[in-house]
Amino acid sequence: MKLSEVLALQKKKKAGNGSASSSRPKAQPVAGSNSAIKVVRTRETPNPSALQFVLNSQIVEYGNLSYESAKDCGDDKLGRTLFAKRGVKTVYIMDNFITVTKEGDADWNPLKDQVWKAIDANVTLYKTNAAVKLNIDVERFLTLPDSEKLDAVEMVLNRSIRSNLAKDGGGVEVKGIDGNVIKILYQGACGSCPTSSTGTLQYIQTQLRQQLHQDLEVKSI
């Protein structure tokens, strides 16, 4: 079920109730009971320390949320509850899944069951602004101001990279540009995945070179 459909059903059930007032940089938790949304299965990722918890409904329509500690969660009860579990290192929320990365010395047994139950009890919907469709003229990429260069990089990542990373429970965020060097930060399962600094990085760099400019270099931070 898509997020828009869930929100429509929720609106009918909760007519007259207020919505959450505190804002978040990328998404805002939506008030109301979401007891019908549950984890239906887990999915392994290329990172043995990261596990993807797949839900029966979409909870984020656009973008993602990436937490590295409880203080990053703000008013998100789900995020804070997950970090209260001993061994949880990062939380990544996107589309219809939540990727949890554990500390290196933690054991998925019993952590997996604890995380599953915490998600079922605290899952929420996240309202985000509609994704902006970018159409950047990249013929003269090197002459563009940095802001437009970054828009072009985002365009390539959105159409060629992020959907593949999401299948493995991860993502990538652009942190800046320095000359021809694009700085990125891996999210979710990609954060500590052994392949993120080799194969994945090379693939991202190849796509950016092919679609934008052959002199571009990508570095993870």
One domain for residues 119 and 28: yes
The DSSP H or E segment spanning 135 is none
Domain count, the chain: 2
Q: Using CA atoms, how far apart are residues 221 and 185, in angstroms rounded to an integer?
A: 6
Residues 150, 85 within the same domain: no
pTM beyond 0.85: the answer is: no
Confidence (pLDDT) at 19: 37
187 within a domain of the structure (yes/no) = yes
133-147 pLDDT, tens per residue?
Answer: 556 666 788 888 898
Instruction: Kindly state whether residues 148 and 113 are assigned to the same domain.
Output: no
Residue 88's DSSP bridge partners are: 102
What distance in Å separates the CA atoms of residue 173 and residue 152, rounded to the nearest whole number? 14
Say yes or no: 54 and 160 in one domain.
no
* Domain at 25, CATH number: 3.30.1370.70
For helices 199-211 and 146-160, what crossing angle results, to 10°? 120
pLDDT at 42 over 90: yes
Average pLDDT over every residue of 61-69: 86
- Note whether 97 and 188 are within 8 A (CB): no
Of 85, 100, 127, which marks where a domain is finished? Answer: 127
pLDDT in tens, 170-210: 889 999 999 999 999 998 888 777 666 677 888 899 989 98
In which element (H, E) is residue 97 found? strand 97-102
Q: Which domain holds residue 63?
A: 3-127
